[in-house]
Structure 1
Amino acid sequence: MTAARLAHTNRRTTVTYIDDIRTALDSQTPGLAPELLDLYTLLALVQGPNVRLADIHDAWAIWRSRTRPDHRSIVPFNDLTPEVQALDQPYADAVARAVTGGQP
């Protein structure tokens, strides 16, 4: 991934630094809803390897509040059990790897 690359045009396909990060995340977290993938991509851009579990949870909670507003885990991160908090770790690791080239 080249973060400095603003755009590379190949016929009708434009690939940007955002696409690079989104693709890296998608390969590590298959099956995510596109909207959630976009939120995690934003976290990769603004937090990078410093992303916190609470950040991942907040992004998920924003997405989930649109798809299932009655979900019991739409609460502040610190109100979750440690077991539920730990579910965010693979996504935080993926966000970090997406911007560091594989190192969490």
Structure 2
Amino acid sequence: MNYLRADAGLIRELLPPEARPPSDSDGLFLLYAVLMRAKGEQVTAADVHDAWAAWMESRDESHAALVPFEELSPATQDEDLPYVRAIQAAARTRAAARR
């Protein structure tokens, strides 16, 4: 397992039980791992949405949520928050391990 897959696995583990990632989402979590490494705790819901949109583009280019984050309803924006928190927690975990 390479470092990105390990980070993706950590992010997945840190999701709350009520978060239900899409099936076959390994590629999406690799994008989340890149976000974690690039932005760390500074990652935003808009960043998470952009990663999801890039992933979804190859799966269903007509998906209704393939719009900029700011154009999503507040309820849809809130769906990104568990992923933001998991990415931030993973970044803290990795930072603590380096100390």
TM-score (norm 2): 0.79
Give aligned pairs, total. 88
**Percent identity at matched positions?**
30
1:37 counterpart = 2:52: no
1:60 counterpart = 2:52: yes
1:1-104 pair list within 5 angstroms? 16=3, 18-29=4-15, 33-101=25-93
**Residue segments in structure 1 that go unaligned for 5+ positions in a row:** 1-13
Structure with more relative contact order (C-alpha pairs < 8 Å, separation 6 or more): 2
**Residue segments in structure 2 that go unaligned for 5+ positions in a row:** 95-99
Q: Which runs of 4+ in 1 moved over 6 A?
A: none
Give, in whole Å, the separation in 2 of the partners of 1:38 and 1:15.
11
Bigger strand fraction: 1
Bigger helix fraction: 2
Please tell me the root mean square deviation across aligned C-alpha atoms, in Å.
1.9
**Which structure would you say has the larger Rg?**
1
2:49 alignment partner AA: H
